[in-house]
Amino acid sequence: ILADKWALPMDLEYALVYHHNPHGIDKAVELVTTVHLADQMAHQIGADLWDNEVIEPEWGDACDTLGLEEEDYNNCLNDMKNNIDKSTEFLAMINYAE
């Protein structure tokens, strides 16, 4: 795996390898779960990286593992959407100015 070649810390390697299957490992659980949830949220707001990208089902215990309530999750999701919209608008202004 590329993480080995880059000599990343094991916690980061676990997050890279297991974020689509967070219940598949019992190490670095909070980090792996955080990356998993962020990936799911990105897909929910339409930030797919490529066409026909496989989207893993959300791991139901992710919010519980991180101590997030539904309101927290929804607030994070709304913040992500707003930031994407602002970034898109900003980049459009930069491109227009060129």
Mean pLDDT score, 14-20:
89
Whether 32 has a pLDDT exceeding 90, the answer reads: yes
Percentage of the chain exceeding pLDDT 90: 34
Q: Which pLDDT belongs to residue 79?
A: 94
For position 2, what pLDDT does the model report? 76
Domain count, the chain: 1
Domain of residue 8, residue span: 2-97
Query: Residue 95 is encoded by which pair of tokens?
Result: 């491109």
Integer Cα distance of 7 and 66 in angstroms? 27
Do residues 28 and 15 make contact, with C-beta atoms less than 8 angstroms apart? yes
d(CA 49, CA 45): 12
Residue 60 has pLDDT above 80, yes or no: no
Q: What is the mean pLDDT of the chain?
A: 84
